[in-house]
């Protein structure tokens, strides 16, 4: 089904995901987008409605969600599913299971996070279990460090920087 500009939907899916595409062996699930929804239906299962079909996936299969205009791409191990809902609505639906926002356009499954890496001044990256690196937005860094028990740095009165341990929330 061609979308605007004559491009096909598979091209738009890859463009919307940018560097966050799943491997080429995994298909991108592209369906027409009606309203769509994301709903927790059990302790570890999520229903993702996209157009005329609903996918039921295990929570452990969801890797991340990335916003693209008026819809959100939910990336799973099987591929990416487009839902016509803003990222904030998807995060609210999945927060109880451990979905956490790391950037204004990206949220991740916190069980997929393997490492926090400081890369330069005021830069923090998250390394996911599939060696995928994502940059954490500055306004989310404090929450992410606290959630995963990383040290936070703060300035002492004399200008010396000292680490301060933060307990893990999860």
Alpha helices in the chain (DSSP H): 9-17, 87-94, 141-147
**Residue 128 class from Cβ within 10 Å (0-12 exposed, 13-18 middle, 19+ buried)?**
middle
> What pLDDT, in 10s, does the model give residues 69-87?
889 999 999 999 999 999 9
Q: Are 67 and 87 in contact (CB under 8 A)?
A: yes
Summarize the confidence of residues 104-118 as an average pLDDT.
94
Higher pLDDT: 3 or 136? It is 136
Q: What is the CATH number of domain 4-164?
A: 2.40.50.1020
pLDDT above 80 for 153: no
pTM across the whole model: 0.69
> What pLDDT, in 10s, does the model give residues 53-64?
899 999 999 999
């Amino acid at each position: 089904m061609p979308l605007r500009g004559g491009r096909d939907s598979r091209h738009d899916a890859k463009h919307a995901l940018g560097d966050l595409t799943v491997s080429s062996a995994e298909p991108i699930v592209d369906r027409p987008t009606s309203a769509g929804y994301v709903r927790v239906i059990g302790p570890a299962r999520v229903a993702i409605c996209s157009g005329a079909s609903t996918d039921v996936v295990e929570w452990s299969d969801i890797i991340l969600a990335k916003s693209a205009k008026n819809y959100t791409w939910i990336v799973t191990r099987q591929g990416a599913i487009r839902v016509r809902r803003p990222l904030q609505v998807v995060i609210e639906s999945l927060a109880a299971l451990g979905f956490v926002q790391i950037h204004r356009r990206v949220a991740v499954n916190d069980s997929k996070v393997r490492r926090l890496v400081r890369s330069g001044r005021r830069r923090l990256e998250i390394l996911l279990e599939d060696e995928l690196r994502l940059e954490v937005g500055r306004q989310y860094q404090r929450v992410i460090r606290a959630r995963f028990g990383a040290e936070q740095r703060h300035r002492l009165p004399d200008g010396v920087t000292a680490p301060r341990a933060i307990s893990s929330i999860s």
